[in-house]
């Protein structure tokens, strides 16, 4: 018993020396992680540092100005998104896959209806000519323009309804002809949402 205890006592300094040598070697090769030199901050302190301080406006005028600036920026973002045709920014009357199909169809075709505004100006001028007050010429011109608009609107809406039944079965097409007619009457550069196809493109 005494011999074993003495042997263990004699082996202890050797093991300690070996451990110290191993630690020194590990430290020399960078295996030991050095301390940060500072305590780890609490979670509440870290969250407090991440928060940005909020300074309230000094007066009501400044607050109103900041509110108007935010509202203007939000409207500008929504307008740009609506021009691109993003669903979240579209008004209710422009929402839906059928309406998107109708816009693409109208935008991919040239029509006389979109130029009716250029014909309306000469008609208004003719109405101010006394010699033409009782002439049927102006009436005939107006009727001709109306007939072209109605014919193009009916043709385009029927084509869109047919495409909707083929590509979007089950989707409602109620009131589609009014939407197609309104889109058809607008100049291409003034249409909203902006056209995403060019005339002649296949849809």
User: 36 vs 196, which has greater pLDDT?
Assistant: 196
Judged against a pLDDT cut of 60, whether residue 196 lies above it is answered with yes
Q: What is the pLDDT of residues 116-168, one digit of tens each?
A: 888 888 888 887 888 776 778 888 888 999 999 999 999 999 999 999 999 99
Indicate the pLDDT class of residue 57, thresholds 50, 70 and 90. low
Domain residues of the chain, as ranges?
62-91, 96-203
Tens digits of per-residue pLDDT, 88-113?
888 899 999 999 999 999 999 999 99
pTM above 0.75, yes or no: no
DSSP 52: P
Percent of the chain with pLDDT strictly greater than 70: 71
Q: Which residue has the tokens 């205890």?
A: 5
Residue 203: pLDDT band with limits 50, 70, 90 = confident
The whole-number pLDDT of residue 100 equals: 94
Residues 6+ apart with CB under 8 A from 29: none
* DSSP per-residue letters across 33-102: PPP-SSPPPPHHHHHHHHSPP----SSHHHHHHHHHHHHHHHHHHHHHHHHHT-GGGS-GGG-SHHHHHH
Residue 8: per-residue pLDDT: 41
Task: Give the model's pLDDT for residue 184.
Answer: 94
């Amino acid at each position: 018993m005494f011999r074993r205890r003495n042997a263990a006592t004699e082996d202890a300094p050797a093991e300690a020396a070996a451990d110290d040598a191993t630690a020194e070697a590990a430290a020399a090769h960078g295996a030991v992680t050095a301390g940060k030199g500072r305590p780890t901050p609490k979670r509440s302190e870290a969250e407090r540092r991440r928060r940005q301080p909020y300074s309230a406006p000094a007066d009501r005028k400044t607050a109103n100005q900041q509110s108007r600036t935010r509202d203007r920026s939000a409207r500008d973002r929504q307008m740009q998104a609506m021009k691109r045709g993003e669903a979240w920014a579209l008004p209710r009357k422009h929402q839906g896959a059928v309406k998107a199909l109708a816009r693409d169809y109208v935008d991919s075709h040239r029509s006389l209806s979109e130029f009716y505004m250029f014909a309306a100006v000469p008609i208004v001028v003719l109405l101010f000519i006394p010699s033409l007050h009782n002439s049927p010429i102006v009436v005939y011109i107006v009727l001709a323009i109306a007939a072209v608009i109605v014919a193009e609107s009916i043709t385009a809406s029927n084509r869109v309804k047919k495409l909707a039944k083929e590509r979007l079965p089950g989707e409602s097409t109620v009131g589609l002809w009014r939407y197609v007619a309104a889109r058809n009457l607008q100049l291409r550069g003034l249409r909203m949402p902006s056209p995403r196809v060019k005339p002649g493109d296949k849809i």
